[in-house]
Structure 1
Protein backbone atom coordinates (compact mmCIF):
# COMPACT_ATOMS: atom_id res chain seq x y z
CA UNK A 1 0.00 0.00 0.00
CA UNK A 2 1.14 3.61 -0.46
CA UNK A 3 3.33 4.99 2.33
CA UNK A 4 3.38 8.66 3.29
CA UNK A 5 6.11 10.42 5.29
CA UNK A 6 4.89 13.76 6.64
CA UNK A 7 7.58 16.11 7.97
CA UNK A 8 7.22 19.30 9.92
CA UNK A 9 9.44 22.13 8.67
CA UNK A 10 12.83 22.84 10.26
CA UNK A 11 13.32 25.44 12.96
CA UNK A 12 11.98 28.77 11.73
CA UNK A 13 13.20 32.22 12.73
CA UNK A 14 11.22 32.77 15.93
CA UNK A 15 11.55 36.33 17.23
CA UNK A 16 12.93 37.72 13.97
CA UNK A 17 11.26 40.09 11.53
CA UNK A 18 10.43 37.15 9.27
CA UNK A 19 9.41 33.95 11.04
CA UNK A 20 8.73 32.26 7.70
CA UNK A 21 12.30 31.29 6.92
CA UNK A 22 14.57 28.62 8.33
CA UNK A 23 17.20 29.45 10.89
CA UNK A 24 20.68 28.08 10.27
CA UNK A 25 19.80 25.22 12.60
CA UNK A 26 16.59 24.65 10.64
CA UNK A 27 18.63 24.15 7.47
CA UNK A 28 20.93 21.70 9.28
CA UNK A 29 17.95 19.75 10.65
CA UNK A 30 16.54 19.40 7.14
CA UNK A 31 19.86 18.26 5.63
CA UNK A 32 20.41 15.79 8.47
CA UNK A 33 16.99 14.29 7.83
CA UNK A 34 17.77 13.93 4.12
CA UNK A 35 21.07 12.26 4.98
CA UNK A 36 19.24 9.90 7.33
CA UNK A 37 16.82 8.95 4.57
CA UNK A 38 19.77 8.37 2.22
CA UNK A 39 21.56 6.17 4.75
CA UNK A 40 18.39 4.10 5.13
CA UNK A 41 18.12 3.76 1.37
CA UNK A 42 14.79 5.57 1.32
CA UNK A 43 13.54 6.78 -2.05
CA UNK A 44 10.45 8.84 -2.76
CA UNK A 45 8.24 8.76 -5.81
CA UNK A 46 6.72 12.12 -5.00
CA UNK A 47 7.72 15.10 -2.85
CA UNK A 48 5.15 17.73 -1.90
CA UNK A 49 5.21 20.77 0.34
CA UNK A 50 3.16 23.80 1.25
CA UNK A 51 3.97 27.07 -0.46
CA UNK A 52 5.32 28.84 2.63
CA UNK A 53 9.01 29.72 2.54
CA UNK A 54 9.87 27.47 5.49
CA UNK A 55 8.22 24.54 3.71
CA UNK A 56 10.14 25.09 0.49
CA UNK A 57 13.44 25.57 2.31
CA UNK A 58 12.93 22.42 4.38
CA UNK A 59 12.14 20.44 1.24
CA UNK A 60 15.27 21.84 -0.42
CA UNK A 61 17.42 20.93 2.59
CA UNK A 62 16.07 17.38 2.68
CA UNK A 63 16.71 17.00 -1.03
CA UNK A 64 20.28 18.23 -0.53
CA UNK A 65 20.80 15.58 2.14
CA UNK A 66 19.37 12.96 -0.22
CA UNK A 67 21.68 14.11 -3.01
CA UNK A 68 18.73 15.29 -5.10
CA UNK A 69 17.67 18.54 -6.68
CA UNK A 70 14.32 20.07 -5.81
CA UNK A 71 13.27 20.28 -9.46
CA UNK A 72 10.45 17.77 -9.11
CA UNK A 73 9.02 19.32 -5.95
CA UNK A 74 5.23 19.77 -6.00
CA UNK A 75 3.77 22.72 -4.12
CA UNK A 76 0.25 22.88 -2.68
CA UNK A 77 -1.24 25.66 -0.51
CA UNK A 78 -3.53 23.02 1.02
CA UNK A 79 -0.52 21.93 3.09
CA UNK A 80 0.03 25.41 4.55
CA UNK A 81 -0.18 26.24 8.23
CA UNK A 82 -3.16 28.17 9.54
CA UNK A 83 -2.49 31.87 10.09
CA UNK A 84 -1.52 31.60 13.76
CA UNK A 85 -0.60 35.29 13.94
CA UNK A 86 -4.13 36.30 12.94
CA UNK A 87 -5.63 33.79 15.39
CA UNK A 88 -3.52 35.22 18.23
CA UNK A 89 -4.35 38.77 17.18
CA UNK A 90 -8.08 37.99 17.25
CA UNK A 91 -7.80 36.41 20.68
CA UNK A 92 -5.76 39.34 21.96
CA UNK A 93 -8.44 41.75 20.76
CA UNK A 94 -10.98 39.74 22.71
CA UNK A 95 -8.85 39.42 25.86
CA UNK A 96 -6.12 42.11 25.88
CA UNK A 97 -4.99 41.22 29.40
CA UNK A 98 -3.87 37.78 28.23
CA UNK A 99 -1.42 39.06 25.59
CA UNK A 100 2.19 38.26 26.58
CA UNK A 101 4.52 41.19 27.08
CA UNK A 102 7.14 41.80 24.39
CA UNK A 103 9.98 40.25 26.41
CA UNK A 104 7.99 37.30 27.75
CA UNK A 105 9.39 33.79 27.85
CA UNK A 106 8.69 31.54 24.90
CA UNK A 107 6.50 29.37 27.16
CA UNK A 108 4.19 32.36 27.72
CA UNK A 109 3.81 32.70 23.97
CA UNK A 110 2.81 29.04 23.63
CA UNK A 111 0.30 29.24 26.47
CA UNK A 112 -1.30 32.22 24.74
CA UNK A 113 -1.37 30.42 21.39
CA UNK A 114 -2.99 27.40 23.04
CA UNK A 115 -5.78 29.55 24.47
CA UNK A 116 -6.23 31.28 21.13
CA UNK A 117 -6.49 27.98 19.26
CA UNK A 118 -9.12 26.67 21.67
CA UNK A 119 -11.16 29.84 21.20
CA UNK A 120 -10.78 29.57 17.42
CA UNK A 121 -11.90 25.92 17.41
CA UNK A 122 -14.95 26.90 19.49
CA UNK A 123 -15.85 29.67 16.99
CA UNK A 124 -15.33 32.31 19.67
CA UNK A 125 -12.93 34.26 17.44
CA UNK A 126 -12.45 34.59 13.69
CA UNK A 127 -9.10 33.88 12.04
CA UNK A 128 -7.97 34.43 8.47
CA UNK A 129 -9.97 31.27 7.79
CA UNK A 130 -12.58 29.69 10.02
CA UNK A 131 -11.86 26.48 11.92
CA UNK A 132 -14.27 24.67 9.58
CA UNK A 133 -12.41 26.02 6.54
CA UNK A 134 -9.11 24.83 8.02
CA UNK A 135 -10.61 21.38 8.57
CA UNK A 136 -11.87 21.24 5.00
CA UNK A 137 -8.54 22.39 3.57
CA UNK A 138 -6.56 19.72 5.43
CA UNK A 139 -9.12 17.10 4.47
CA UNK A 140 -8.44 18.08 0.86
CA UNK A 141 -4.70 17.78 1.48
CA UNK A 142 -5.18 14.24 2.80
CA UNK A 143 -7.05 13.38 -0.36
CA UNK A 144 -4.21 14.83 -2.41
CA UNK A 145 -1.46 12.84 -0.68
CA UNK A 146 -3.44 9.66 -0.12
CA UNK A 147 -4.46 9.11 -3.74
CA UNK A 148 -1.36 7.20 -4.83
CA UNK A 149 -0.72 3.91 -6.66
CA UNK A 150 0.13 0.85 -4.59
CA UNK A 151 3.71 0.69 -3.32
CA UNK A 152 4.59 4.33 -3.89
CA UNK A 153 6.26 6.47 -1.23
CA UNK A 154 5.39 10.13 -0.82
CA UNK A 155 7.30 12.73 1.20
CA UNK A 156 5.26 15.69 2.46
CA UNK A 157 6.56 18.84 4.18
CA UNK A 158 4.05 20.90 6.13
CA UNK A 159 3.56 22.59 9.52
CA UNK A 160 2.61 21.53 13.03
CA UNK A 161 -0.99 22.70 13.01
CA UNK A 162 -1.76 21.14 9.63
CA UNK A 163 -0.08 17.85 10.62
CA UNK A 164 -1.97 17.82 13.92
CA UNK A 165 -5.23 18.30 12.01
CA UNK A 166 -4.31 15.41 9.71
CA UNK A 167 -3.78 13.12 12.70
CA UNK A 168 -6.98 14.31 14.34
CA UNK A 169 -9.03 13.62 11.21
CA UNK A 170 -7.47 10.20 10.64
CA UNK A 171 -8.10 9.13 14.24
CA UNK A 172 -11.52 10.76 14.49
CA UNK A 173 -10.35 12.61 17.61
CA UNK A 174 -12.00 15.69 19.16
CA UNK A 175 -11.08 19.19 18.05
CA UNK A 176 -8.90 20.01 21.07
CA UNK A 177 -6.55 17.22 19.97
CA UNK A 178 -5.20 19.53 17.27
CA UNK A 179 -4.03 22.06 19.83
CA UNK A 180 -2.44 19.43 22.08
CA UNK A 181 -0.59 17.70 19.23
CA UNK A 182 0.48 20.97 17.64
CA UNK A 183 2.43 21.89 20.77
CA UNK A 184 4.31 18.58 20.72
CA UNK A 185 5.50 18.27 17.13
CA UNK A 186 9.25 18.74 16.79
CA UNK A 187 10.98 20.52 13.93
CA UNK A 188 11.68 18.07 11.07
CA UNK A 189 9.82 15.33 12.96
CA UNK A 190 8.54 12.51 10.78
CA UNK A 191 5.06 10.99 11.02
CA UNK A 192 4.29 7.97 8.85
CA UNK A 193 0.97 7.01 7.33
CA UNK A 194 -0.30 4.19 5.13
CA UNK A 195 -3.11 4.59 2.60
CA UNK A 196 -5.45 1.65 2.02
CA UNK A 197 -8.94 0.87 0.81
CA UNK A 198 -10.47 2.10 4.06
CA UNK A 199 -8.53 5.37 4.00
CA UNK A 200 -5.32 6.64 5.56
CA UNK A 201 -4.01 5.11 8.78
CA UNK A 202 -1.42 6.41 11.24
CA UNK A 203 1.70 4.25 11.62
CA UNK A 204 3.98 6.45 13.76
CA UNK A 205 4.05 10.04 15.00
CA UNK A 206 6.61 12.77 15.71
CA UNK A 207 9.90 10.88 15.38
CA UNK A 208 13.31 12.55 14.89
CA UNK A 209 15.69 9.63 14.21
CA UNK A 210 18.24 12.04 12.71
CA UNK A 211 18.44 13.98 15.99
CA UNK A 212 18.34 11.22 18.59
CA UNK A 213 22.06 10.57 18.90
CA UNK A 214 23.79 11.94 22.00
CA UNK A 215 25.62 14.48 19.85
CA UNK A 216 22.44 15.90 18.31
CA UNK A 217 19.81 15.78 21.05
CA UNK A 218 20.53 19.41 21.91
CA UNK A 219 19.33 20.36 18.41
CA UNK A 220 15.75 19.14 18.96
CA UNK A 221 13.47 22.18 18.74
CA UNK A 222 9.75 22.96 18.62
CA UNK A 223 9.32 26.32 16.84
Structure 2
Protein backbone atom coordinates (compact mmCIF):
# COMPACT_ATOMS: atom_id res chain seq x y z
CA UNK A 1 0.00 0.00 0.00
CA UNK A 2 1.43 3.36 -1.04
CA UNK A 3 1.68 6.32 1.33
CA UNK A 4 1.63 9.72 -0.37
CA UNK A 5 3.16 12.78 1.27
CA UNK A 6 1.99 16.15 -0.05
CA UNK A 7 4.61 18.73 0.94
CA UNK A 8 4.14 22.47 1.01
CA UNK A 9 7.32 24.24 -0.10
CA UNK A 10 9.57 25.97 2.40
CA UNK A 11 9.02 29.63 3.19
CA UNK A 12 9.27 31.71 0.03
CA UNK A 13 10.15 35.39 -0.35
CA UNK A 14 6.97 37.27 0.52
CA UNK A 15 7.00 40.88 -0.66
CA UNK A 16 10.13 40.47 -2.77
CA UNK A 17 10.22 41.16 -6.49
CA UNK A 18 10.09 37.39 -6.99
CA UNK A 19 8.11 35.41 -4.43
CA UNK A 20 9.22 32.19 -6.12
CA UNK A 21 12.47 31.77 -4.21
CA UNK A 22 13.08 30.10 -0.85
CA UNK A 23 14.09 32.39 1.99
CA UNK A 24 16.95 31.32 4.29
CA UNK A 25 14.27 30.07 6.70
CA UNK A 26 12.68 28.12 3.86
CA UNK A 27 15.96 26.43 3.03
CA UNK A 28 16.41 25.38 6.65
CA UNK A 29 12.81 24.11 6.85
CA UNK A 30 13.42 21.96 3.76
CA UNK A 31 16.61 20.57 5.31
CA UNK A 32 14.77 19.63 8.52
CA UNK A 33 12.03 18.01 6.44
CA UNK A 34 14.61 15.92 4.63
CA UNK A 35 16.20 14.85 7.89
CA UNK A 36 12.78 13.81 9.14
CA UNK A 37 12.18 11.81 5.98
CA UNK A 38 15.50 10.08 6.61
CA UNK A 39 14.11 8.83 9.91
CA UNK A 40 10.70 7.65 8.69
CA UNK A 41 11.12 6.47 5.09
CA UNK A 42 12.66 3.04 4.67
CA UNK A 43 13.37 3.39 0.94
CA UNK A 44 13.61 6.07 -1.70
CA UNK A 45 10.21 7.53 -2.63
CA UNK A 46 8.70 8.20 -6.01
CA UNK A 47 9.18 11.97 -6.06
CA UNK A 48 7.22 14.61 -7.95
CA UNK A 49 7.54 18.40 -7.83
CA UNK A 50 5.74 21.30 -9.41
CA UNK A 51 7.81 23.31 -11.86
CA UNK A 52 7.96 26.43 -9.69
CA UNK A 53 11.36 27.30 -8.32
CA UNK A 54 10.27 27.01 -4.69
CA UNK A 55 8.98 23.48 -5.36
CA UNK A 56 12.21 22.43 -7.05
CA UNK A 57 14.38 23.98 -4.35
CA UNK A 58 12.43 22.32 -1.53
CA UNK A 59 12.62 18.95 -3.29
CA UNK A 60 16.35 19.25 -3.93
CA UNK A 61 17.28 20.31 -0.40
CA UNK A 62 15.00 17.77 1.31
CA UNK A 63 16.00 14.78 -0.78
CA UNK A 64 19.70 15.63 -0.43
CA UNK A 65 19.30 14.86 3.29
CA UNK A 66 17.82 11.40 2.81
CA UNK A 67 17.87 9.99 -0.72
CA UNK A 68 20.27 12.10 -2.80
CA UNK A 69 20.13 9.54 -5.60
CA UNK A 70 16.34 9.94 -5.99
CA UNK A 71 15.14 11.47 -9.24
CA UNK A 72 12.31 14.00 -9.29
CA UNK A 73 9.54 14.07 -11.87
CA UNK A 74 8.60 17.67 -12.72
CA UNK A 75 4.89 18.22 -13.35
CA UNK A 76 3.48 21.75 -13.66
CA UNK A 77 -0.01 20.41 -12.88
CA UNK A 78 1.12 20.66 -9.23
CA UNK A 79 1.87 24.38 -9.51
CA UNK A 80 0.13 26.94 -7.30
CA UNK A 81 -2.52 29.34 -8.57
CA UNK A 82 -1.36 32.87 -9.39
CA UNK A 83 -1.86 34.36 -5.94
CA UNK A 84 -0.41 37.72 -6.99
CA UNK A 85 -3.09 38.12 -9.66
CA UNK A 86 -5.79 36.97 -7.24
CA UNK A 87 -4.67 39.66 -4.78
CA UNK A 88 -4.36 42.31 -7.52
CA UNK A 89 -7.84 41.69 -8.92
CA UNK A 90 -9.19 42.23 -5.41
CA UNK A 91 -7.07 45.36 -4.79
CA UNK A 92 -5.17 46.69 -7.84
CA UNK A 93 -2.35 48.28 -5.84
CA UNK A 94 -1.38 44.82 -4.63
CA UNK A 95 -0.11 44.13 -8.14
CA UNK A 96 3.07 45.52 -6.61
CA UNK A 97 4.07 42.86 -4.03
CA UNK A 98 6.10 45.29 -1.94
CA UNK A 99 2.99 47.44 -1.37
CA UNK A 100 1.11 44.49 0.09
CA UNK A 101 4.10 43.65 2.29
CA UNK A 102 4.33 47.28 3.43
CA UNK A 103 0.66 47.25 4.44
CA UNK A 104 1.11 43.96 6.28
CA UNK A 105 4.21 45.18 8.13
CA UNK A 106 2.33 48.21 9.47
CA UNK A 107 -0.28 46.08 11.22
CA UNK A 108 -0.18 45.09 14.89
CA UNK A 109 -1.32 41.62 13.83
CA UNK A 110 0.15 41.11 10.35
CA UNK A 111 -1.10 37.56 9.92
CA UNK A 112 -4.68 38.49 10.81
CA UNK A 113 -4.59 41.40 8.38
CA UNK A 114 -3.22 39.26 5.57
CA UNK A 115 -5.82 36.59 6.36
CA UNK A 116 -8.58 39.18 5.89
CA UNK A 117 -7.14 40.26 2.51
CA UNK A 118 -6.68 36.63 1.49
CA UNK A 119 -10.27 35.76 2.40
CA UNK A 120 -11.69 38.64 0.35
CA UNK A 121 -9.47 37.89 -2.64
CA UNK A 122 -10.33 34.19 -2.60
CA UNK A 123 -14.07 34.88 -2.28
CA UNK A 124 -13.88 37.06 -5.39
CA UNK A 125 -11.87 34.43 -7.30
CA UNK A 126 -14.13 31.52 -6.38
CA UNK A 127 -17.45 33.38 -6.34
CA UNK A 128 -18.42 32.83 -9.97
CA UNK A 129 -18.97 36.39 -11.21
CA UNK A 130 -15.38 37.17 -12.25
CA UNK A 131 -13.94 33.95 -13.64
CA UNK A 132 -13.23 35.65 -16.98
CA UNK A 133 -10.89 38.18 -15.31
CA UNK A 134 -8.28 35.62 -14.28
CA UNK A 135 -5.62 33.84 -16.30
CA UNK A 136 -6.69 30.68 -14.47
CA UNK A 137 -10.19 30.64 -13.06
CA UNK A 138 -11.08 28.84 -9.86
CA UNK A 139 -12.94 26.01 -11.70
CA UNK A 140 -9.93 25.47 -13.96
CA UNK A 141 -7.48 25.41 -11.05
CA UNK A 142 -9.67 23.02 -9.08
CA UNK A 143 -10.02 20.71 -12.07
CA UNK A 144 -6.27 20.83 -12.77
CA UNK A 145 -5.36 19.83 -9.21
CA UNK A 146 -7.99 17.11 -8.95
CA UNK A 147 -6.82 15.68 -12.28
CA UNK A 148 -3.18 15.78 -11.17
CA UNK A 149 -4.10 13.91 -7.99
CA UNK A 150 -6.10 11.26 -9.81
CA UNK A 151 -3.41 10.80 -12.47
CA UNK A 152 -0.82 10.33 -9.72
CA UNK A 153 -3.03 7.79 -7.94
CA UNK A 154 -3.59 5.88 -11.17
CA UNK A 155 0.15 5.75 -11.80
CA UNK A 156 0.95 4.67 -8.25
CA UNK A 157 -1.74 1.97 -8.35
CA UNK A 158 0.14 0.44 -11.28
CA UNK A 159 3.70 0.78 -9.97
CA UNK A 160 2.92 0.39 -6.24
CA UNK A 161 5.92 2.12 -4.65
CA UNK A 162 6.02 2.14 -0.88
CA UNK A 163 6.15 5.94 -0.75
CA UNK A 164 5.44 8.90 -2.99
CA UNK A 165 6.33 12.51 -2.18
CA UNK A 166 4.86 15.52 -3.98
CA UNK A 167 6.47 18.94 -3.49
CA UNK A 168 3.83 21.58 -4.17
CA UNK A 169 1.98 24.52 -2.56
CA UNK A 170 -0.66 25.22 0.06
CA UNK A 171 -3.49 25.98 -2.36
CA UNK A 172 -2.89 22.73 -4.22
CA UNK A 173 -2.81 20.69 -1.02
CA UNK A 174 -6.01 22.37 0.17
CA UNK A 175 -7.83 21.51 -3.04
CA UNK A 176 -6.62 17.90 -2.86
CA UNK A 177 -7.79 17.58 0.75
CA UNK A 178 -11.01 19.42 -0.06
CA UNK A 179 -11.74 16.96 -2.86
CA UNK A 180 -11.28 13.97 -0.56
CA UNK A 181 -13.37 15.54 2.23
CA UNK A 182 -16.02 17.10 -0.03
CA UNK A 183 -15.40 20.65 1.22
CA UNK A 184 -16.83 23.91 -0.14
CA UNK A 185 -14.42 26.48 -1.65
CA UNK A 186 -14.55 28.58 1.53
CA UNK A 187 -13.69 25.64 3.76
CA UNK A 188 -11.06 24.46 1.31
CA UNK A 189 -9.21 27.77 1.51
CA UNK A 190 -9.62 27.94 5.26
CA UNK A 191 -7.32 24.92 5.20
CA UNK A 192 -4.94 26.73 2.87
CA UNK A 193 -4.36 29.49 5.37
CA UNK A 194 -3.44 26.98 8.08
CA UNK A 195 -0.92 24.90 6.14
CA UNK A 196 2.60 25.57 7.42
CA UNK A 197 5.69 25.82 5.23
CA UNK A 198 7.38 22.45 4.67
CA UNK A 199 4.51 20.66 6.40
CA UNK A 200 3.26 17.30 5.18
CA UNK A 201 -0.23 16.07 4.45
CA UNK A 202 -0.42 12.30 4.27
CA UNK A 203 -2.65 10.16 2.06
CA UNK A 204 -3.07 6.40 1.86
CA UNK A 205 -3.77 4.87 -1.51
CA UNK A 206 -6.53 2.25 -1.54
CA UNK A 207 -6.78 0.84 -5.04
CA UNK A 208 -6.47 4.05 -7.00
CA UNK A 209 -8.38 6.21 -4.51
CA UNK A 210 -6.70 8.45 -1.93
CA UNK A 211 -7.72 8.52 1.73
CA UNK A 212 -6.66 11.36 4.03
CA UNK A 213 -4.54 10.16 6.95
CA UNK A 214 -3.19 13.46 8.29
CA UNK A 215 -3.21 17.15 7.47
CA UNK A 216 -0.53 19.79 7.95
CA UNK A 217 1.94 17.84 10.08
CA UNK A 218 4.67 20.22 11.19
CA UNK A 219 5.68 18.86 14.60
CA UNK A 220 9.12 17.88 13.26
CA UNK A 221 9.90 21.55 12.56
CA UNK A 222 8.48 22.71 15.89
CA UNK A 223 10.54 20.11 17.74
CA UNK A 224 13.70 21.37 16.06
CA UNK A 225 13.00 25.09 16.55
CA UNK A 226 9.54 26.62 17.14
CA UNK A 227 10.77 29.91 15.72
CA UNK A 228 11.18 28.27 12.32
CA UNK A 229 7.44 27.69 11.95
CA UNK A 230 6.01 29.97 9.26
CA UNK A 231 2.78 30.18 7.31
CA UNK A 232 3.59 33.07 4.93
Q: TM exceeds 0.5?
A: yes
More helix by share: 2
| 2:117 corresponds to which of 112, 121, 129 | 112
Q: Does 1:196 align with 2:216?
A: no
Q: Does 1:144 align with 2:151?
A: yes
- Is 1:35–1:62's contact at 8 Å kept on the other side of the alignment? yes
| Partner Cα distance (1:222, 1:190) in 2 | 13
Query: 1:115/1:2 Cα in 2 relative to 1: closer, same or farther (>3 Å)?
Result: same
Query: What per-residue deviation string (whole Å, max 9, x for no partner) do you get for residues 130-174 of structure 1?
Result: 111011100111113212133531000100001000000111111
Q: Does 1:40 align with 2:40?
A: yes
**Structure 1: runs of 5 or more not aligned:** 94-99
The number of residue pairs the alignment matches comes to 216
1:203-218 superposed matches below 5 A: 203-213=213-223, 215-218=224-227
| Partner Cα distance (1:53, 1:115) in 2 | 27
Deviation at 1:102, TM superposition (A): 5.8
Query: 1:48/1:222 Cα in 2 relative to 1: closer, same or farther (>3 Å)?
Result: same
| Partner Cα distance (1:113, 1:120) in 2 | 10
| Partner Cα distance (2:45, 2:161) in 1 | 10
| Partner Cα distance (2:162, 2:16) in 1 | 39
RMSD (Å), alpha carbons = 1.9
Query: What per-residue deviation string (whole Å, max 9, x for no partner) do you get for residues 1-42 of structure 1?
Result: 221001000000112121100001101110111111112344
- Provide TM-score, normalisation by structure 1: 0.90
| Partner Cα distance (2:208, 2:55) in 1 | 29
Q: Does 1:162 align with 2:169?
A: no
**Structure 2: runs of 5 or more not aligned:** 93-98, 105-109
Q: Bigger shift: 158-167 or 41-50?
A: 41-50
Q: Bigger shift: 101-110 or 173-182?
A: 101-110
Query: 1:210/1:92 Cα in 2 relative to 1: closer, same or farther (>3 Å)?
Result: same
| Partner Cα distance (1:144, 1:78) in 2 | 10
| Partner Cα distance (1:101, 1:222) in 2 | 16
| 2:228 corresponds to which of 193, 201, 219 | 219
| Partner Cα distance (1:29, 1:182) in 2 | 18
Query: 1:42/1:12 Cα in 2 relative to 1: closer, same or farther (>3 Å)?
Result: farther
